[in-house]
Amino acid sequence: MSTMAELSVFIVTLLGLICGGWCIYWVKMIPCVRRARLGRWLFVLTLLTLGAMALVAAVVHADSLAPLGLLSGFLVIGMLWENPHTDEVPSERTV
């Protein structure tokens, strides 16, 4: 039972890393309102899934609970990190 719990926590951690990174990319890098909204909803769903798995990992005393918690924290930091805004319009190069 313990190895199955460890493996499931590890797999959910990796899937959370991939899905959370993808959501941050959609929200921060792609200038589309629809994708940003969808990225935010998927990000919240990812965090809720990681939180539920953290609860399960705590109940079964899984050793991989620490990386799961760290990943959740770093995903929140990545989503809330402010990018510097440039108000300058790029000038056209004259030849």
pLDDT greater than 60 at residue 29: yes
CA distance 95 to 86: 25
pTM of the predicted model as reported, rounded to 2 decimal places: 0.79
pLDDT digits (tens, 9 = 90+) for 43-57: 999 999 999 999 999
Quick check: 20 pLDDT over 70? yes
Is the per-residue pLDDT at 94 higher than 70? no
Is 60 exceeded by the pLDDT of residue 5? yes
- The DSSP annotation for 45-59 comes to HHHHHHHHHHHHHHH
